[in-house]
Structure 1
Amino acid sequence: MNLNLWLNLLTNTSFANSIYLILLNTMVCYWLSIKYPKLNILKNLCWVGVLSSNLLLFTILSLRWFVAGYFPLSNLYESLLFLDWCLLFILLIVEGKSKTKIIGAIIVPITLLIISFATLILPPPMQSAAPLVPALQSNWLMMHVSMMMLSYATLILGSLLSILFLVISSTQKFNLSINKKTTQNQLLENIDNWSYRTIGLGFPFLTIGIIAGAVWANEAWGSYWSWDPKETWALITWLVFAAYIHARLTQGWIGKRAAVLGSLGFFVVWICYLGVNFLGQGLHSYGFLS
């Protein structure tokens, strides 16, 4: 009990506050690095900030896993931390491939908002590690929830890139560029391509997560699908991104038309993840508002 109390105090104050401050400074560095692309020190500070935040989040989740004895995805606080970790981890990979700070400039503010909400808005009882309720005591917990959160993080990134595409394309003069040789049209083409690839990566994660959830539901409640609000919105989310990928592959949608559909996915993901739990009751309310 004392160990668990120490864990909650440590992860909910020291580490969480450190992550908040690091992400705040990293966000400023990203914005400055776009304004002053020749300053390599800003790019290095961005990388250090993302990496250190990622490691701190990994440490928090690992400590909670060690002390609680189960994968730390049983309540809203833990899922928010895991979502933040996924976003930052994906950012490290994508940024390494794209060689641009544009993606980090739109993702880091989202991660800052998530950690702020988790640590400053959620009451302390909701941040504490607690024993799992019987319905969550299953080996499917890690498989289902981790896949869903990983898909949310990937799809959020892809959708944000679609929103960025619409913002830039609607602006006559936009100075944001990867380098001097990159025109606005080339930049838009790159963003459209990054968005498509990212959503294409997140869609299989979402599919696996939904299938694993159906198997777990049958094990826990005796039914693969019960049209619970969370299940319904997960299906809507899947259909939206399935339509996006279908339109790109078979209808040849690129540019604005694809970006509009991809942008819609951003709001659908957040409704599925948070909105359903705050607006309605269902079988997936364990550890969120209960």
Structure 2
Amino acid sequence: MIWDYFFIFALISACCWIIGALAAWKGNSMVAYIATLLGVLVFSLYIIIMWVTLERPPLRTMGETRLWYSLFLSLAGFIVYSRWHYKWMLSFSTILSIVFICINLFKPEIHSKALMPALQSPWFAPHVIVYMFSYALFGAATLMAVYLLFFKKTTTDKEMDITDNLVYVGYSFLTIGMLFGALWAKEAWGHYWSWDPKETWAAVTWFGYLAYIHYRLNKNRGIHQALILLIVCFILLQMCWWGINYLPSAQAGSVHTYTL
């Protein structure tokens, strides 16, 4: 089973990401670029092989979505580093990617070929992949917020611009993911939206980030409050992603609840 080889691919990817992060701190950008991208490629190869082996997109269980989050987090860190040369972001994204890898290693799940009828839709893969990419960008933005709020004494406009841009792009992909989800729901259940617990929290998250974007339209407003709002939005996102699995309303019959 392909899952038996996850440790090997994960170890190679993690080593590449660590080498890339260390190289960034030492000022060797070329090694940082090559090592980080190599890690991304190796991890992507594993996901592709898993996709082929399972004969379905590896997106059904929480463990499978964590694979995508690890991949996209490292990619988001690479994008921020290559665009704005924030070496600490590459380090933090590497650490978080490895954390999600370790969660999968310590909590292995059964990755079978079984796929419920509702998931056998052409909208399934693009919906979840786009969502995972938006989650990774929001994760990177939240790392920026935590850094600026608790570790940086003074915040510059450039740093806030980076944070805002990550939110703007993440919000765009989040919106596209919701549209894909609505089309998928129409095909699978006959309606675009039903206020299922997952959909309700998705809407709460969407409006939360929309509130942040509108708040930041006036640059004279407090940066401290904006950063706190961004962290709150990410907490809402976590509730939407996996927190609803523990809600009684979701356990009673949500079609979106992951198999844990």
TM-score, normalization: structure 2?
A: 0.88
Select the residue among 17, 22, 34 that pairs with 2:11.
17
- Displacement of 1:45 after TM fit? 5.1
Structure-1 separation of matches of 2:76 and 2:141: 11
Sequence identity (%): 29
1:225 aligns with 2:193: yes
Alignment CA distance shift 1:124-1:239 (3 Å): closer
- Displacement of 1:92 after TM fit? 1.8
Select the residue among 63, 88, 98 that pairs with 1:77.
63
Letter in 1 for 2:100: I
Partner of 1:156: 139
Q: How many residues align?
A: 256
Letter in 2 for 1:263: I
The answer to whether the 8 Å contact 2:63/2:108 transfers is no
1:66-104 deviation line (CA, Å, top 9, x unaligned)? 222322222222211111111112222221110220211
Which sits farther off after the overlay, 128-137 or 15-24? 15-24
1:154-190 deviation line (CA, Å, top 9, x unaligned)? 1111122112111134x4xxxxxxxxxxxx55xx332
Alignment CA distance shift 1:149-1:72 (3 Å): same
The answer to whether the 8 Å contact 1:86/1:153 transfers is yes
Structure 1: stretches of 5+ with no match in the other structure: 34-38, 172-183
Structure-1 separation of matches of 2:35 and 2:67: 16
Larger Rg, first or second structure (1 or 2): 1
Structure-2 separation of matches of 1:8 and 1:250: 49
Structure-2 separation of matches of 1:14 and 1:278: 32
Partner of 2:41: 55
Alignment of 1:131-210 (within 5 A): 131-169=114-152, 171=153, 184-185=154-155, 188-210=156-178
1:111 aligns with 2:83: no
Select the residue among 244, 247, 253 that pairs with 2:212.
244
Structure-2 separation of matches of 1:66 and 1:250: 48
Structure-2 separation of matches of 1:142 and 1:150: 12
Partner of 2:257: 285
Which sits farther off after the overlay, 146-155 or 46-55? 46-55
Structure-2 separation of matches of 1:209 and 1:243: 19
1:123 aligns with 2:108: yes
SS of 1:73 mapped into structure 2: coil
- Displacement of 1:253 after TM fit? 3.2
Partner of 1:68: 54
1:48-82 deviation line (CA, Å, top 9, x unaligned)? 44223211210111101222232222222221111
Structure-1 separation of matches of 2:161 and 2:137: 14
Alignment of 1:94-105 (within 5 A): 94-105=80-91
After superposition, the CA RMSD in angstroms is 2.3
1:83-138 deviation line (CA, Å, top 9, x unaligned)? 11111122222211102202113222211111111222x2342xx24221111000
1:271 aligns with 2:239: yes
1:245-266 deviation line (CA, Å, top 9, x unaligned)? 0111257535212211112122
The answer to whether the 8 Å contact 1:90/1:154 transfers is yes
Structure-1 separation of matches of 2:109 and 2:56: 20
Structure-2 separation of matches of 1:114 and 1:90: 15
Structure-2 separation of matches of 1:117 and 1:25: 21
Letter in 2 for 1:249: L
The answer to whether the 8 Å contact 2:76/2:93 transfers is no
Structure 2: stretches of 5+ with no match in the other structure: none
SS of 2:242 mapped into structure 1: helix
4+ residue runs of structure 1 moved beyond 6 angstroms? none
The answer to whether the 8 Å contact 2:54/2:113 transfers is yes
The answer to whether the 8 Å contact 1:159/1:199 transfers is no
SS of 1:40 mapped into structure 2: coil
